Amino acid sequence: MQHIVAIDQGTTGSTVLVLDEVLQVRGRGYREFAQHYPQPGLVEHDPEQIWQSVLGALGDALAQAAVPAAQLAAIGITNQRETTLLWERAGGAAAHPAIVWQDRRTAASCAAMTAAGHAERVRQLTGLPIDPYFSATKIAWMLDRAGLRARAERGELAFGTVDAFLLQRLTGGAAHVTDVTNASRTLLFDIHALAWSDELLQRFAVPVAVLPTVAPSAGEFGHTRGVPGLPDGLPITGVAGDQQAALFGQACFAPGDAKCTYGTGAFLLMQTGDVAVPSTRGMITTVAWQIPGERAYALEGAAFVAGAAVQWLRDGLGIIRSADEIEALARSVPDSGGVVVVPAFAGLGAPHWRAEARGLVTGLTRGTTRAHLARATLEGIALQNVDILRAMEQDSGRELHVLKVDGGAAANDLLMQFQCDVLGVPLSRPALLETTALGAAMLAGLGVGLWSSKAELAAAWREQRRFRPAMAAAEVQAHLERWRLAVGKA
């Protein structure tokens, strides 16, 4: 039996799965790495720590799977998107700390470009708003503030999102490649032509010399060389940004299919087929995937903070010792006691796009306990998704009937039931919650010929539980009204 190695490089840690031909997990590894906050609103990663976390998780997964090298068919990669890296072409050392997707340091330059009237043209080409979330202004900031522009223009430096950085390391420096989904998150990529845009490169002052080659999501990206635990020559045949990989991994293969991934942030994507649907309600239009004979697009709405809010309760406030404790603590009270948490710690994403917004806790009384705060935090994670979904339905002209859910927080039954109640649609939770890694494995399997069609993959997808709305309509409306008022103050 052949196996796929799936690397899921996330914002707070790296997961590696070894999956067999029927998509069963044979080995799993996970390693966290440090988050760096130089100033309020700034978030950085050390690229070397990212790489070491991948190597550590890879070693653990391979040891657990105990699969002979001859039974490894290919590698798939999925990654935190928009996070921006620059490295030396000679040797591959990082030229600057990675600027993470959550980072807001370029908010002023984005606001200035919008005020100058560039937003509509940029959205036409990219499907994206001009926002610090995306890579282009991060690249320009590094080139200018770190004094790297001249070196970049001479071709001494390479830019990449995390997938391209990992490909460079996995291939011993041979590959400088990204896929269409990651390229579509840079503000530099024409999503209709599926190519870098000279107009956008000039607009954002990014030299073409730093850019990677863009490839489809399934196909050959390179071969391993010098990677501990892996044989040389193993093909890397699937790459997609984490949310597109989750959409693929959830078998959302028909237009109108949608999923929400609960990771560091919460991300709703609705597949729209081969049509790039423009948004007038704050959604993103993005490339969902490109595989042989097919390109697909999606509407996306992102809430920057979801699981990160639980980490805040653990690391910032110390009211829980581990993330696993939050459900029991939240269940210890019947409701939030009127407390509302707006988790806008990194600004508000879709559909509001308010980079200046900050987190808010409202409705505190003398009777508020840490249990109320825990419950309100879970509710805030769910309530921000209601705003996103309603806007997405209006943009697409489609009413969602089922939402597929995944990611670590999807294991929280209290959160899932509340999400189901306030959305008013059933939620479908899969047997394997790590669908970002699953999607990378599925793309890699298609790319190497292990599977021949999406139909084969859809047949292997399995549901673990379906949640159905149970909350009274008046109670739902009360939650939504308190949320609307709180968001207005954030």
- CATH number of 29's domain: 3.30.420.40
Q: What pLDDT shows up at residue 203?
A: 95
Q: Is residue 40 part of a domain?
A: yes
Residue 24's nearest CA partner among 7, 8, 1, 55 is 1
**Global confidence as pTM:** 0.87
How far, in Å, CA of 293 to CA of 472, rounded?
46
How far, in Å, CA of 483 to CA of 487, rounded?
6
Task: Give the domain extent around 228.
Answer: 3-243
Q: Is residue 214 part of a domain?
A: yes
Q: What pLDDT shows up at residue 418?
A: 97
Q: Is residue 465 part of a domain?
A: no
Our count of domains for the chain comes to: 1
- Token pair for 78: 């999925």
Q: Is residue 118 part of a domain?
A: yes
Q: Is residue 349 part of a domain?
A: no
Residues 6 or more apart whose Cβ sits within 8 Å of residue 93: 87
How far, in Å, CA of 352 to CA of 490, rounded?
11
How far, in Å, CA of 261 to CA of 182, rounded?
17
pLDDT means over runs of 10, the chain (490 residues): 95 94 94 92 95 97 94 96 95 94 91 94 94 94 91 94 97 96 97 97 96 96 95 97 95 91 88 91 93 94 88 92 92 95 87 86 95 96 94 88 91 96 95 91 95 88 94 96 93
User: Residue type at 456?
Assistant: E
Q: Is residue 235 part of a domain?
A: yes
Q: Is residue 426 part of a domain?
A: no
Q: Is residue 16 part of a domain?
A: yes
